[in-house]
Amino acid sequence: MPSFDIVSELDMHEVNNAVDQANRELSTRYDFNKVDAKFELAGEVITLQAEVDFQLQQMMDILRNKLVGRKIDTKSLDVGDAQTVNMRARQLVTLKQGLDQPLSKKIIKMIKDKKLKVQAQVQGDQVRVTGKKRDDLQGVMSMLREADLELPLQYTNFRD
């Protein structure tokens, strides 16, 4: 029976490359000349460090541009509030991946509301969709692409 999995994953190698490129751009930009500012990637958290809040906003724009250039959807970023301590500003950006339980249930409800002849079930941090016809599965994919969800989705493990 044809099936596929709905997942939300990030290519961490590309994220690492984007952070490295953003650090390189900081070192060459005139407005960051003689400013102690940097990006740090630790696991699934990117830390932005600068001297003032305004520089953090500029750094966030740089990071978003580098991530988009590396084909990473910015919906997967969870931007925290800027914190200023002792003449240093810092901001945490958490990378979201994997489908949590409420989002999985929302996806399943959307699929059932479409009334296609497919079954959807949660399997850990992914949703498996099975159906008799390949066209029904492709209809589910196109419906989810058009839906405005808070995480980017990928469709993997398509079996015929």
* Contact in structure between 55 and 32 (CB atoms under 8 Å): yes
Q: How does residue 135 score in pLDDT terms, banded at 50, 70 and 90?
A: confident
With 90 as the cut, is the pLDDT of residue 97 above it? no
Cβ of 15: how many Cβ atoms within 10 Å?
21
What DSSP element (H or E) covers 92? Answer: strand 88-95
Mean predicted confidence (pLDDT) in 32-36:
86
pLDDT of amino acid 19 = 93
Mean predicted confidence (pLDDT) in 111-137:
84
Q: Which is more confidently placed, 13 or 147? A: 13
| Three-state DSSP class for residue 96 | coil
With 90 as the cut, is the pLDDT of residue 40 above it? yes
Mean predicted confidence (pLDDT) in 8-36:
90
With 80 as the cut, is the pLDDT of residue 69 above it? yes
**pTM confidence score:** 0.81
pLDDT of amino acid 130 = 87
With 90 as the cut, is the pLDDT of residue 65 above it? yes
Which two three-digit tokens encode residue 51? 């001297």
- Structural domains of the chain sorted by starting position, each given as residue range(s) with its CATH number in brackets: 3-8+98-159 (3.30.70.860), 12-95 (3.30.70.990)
With 80 as the cut, is the pLDDT of residue 30 above it? yes
Mean predicted confidence (pLDDT) in 82-110:
88
pLDDT of amino acid 49 = 92
For the chain, give the mean pLDDT. Answer: 87
* Contact in structure between 153 and 144 (CB atoms under 8 Å): yes
Q: How does residue 48 score in pLDDT terms, banded at 50, 70 and 90?
A: very high
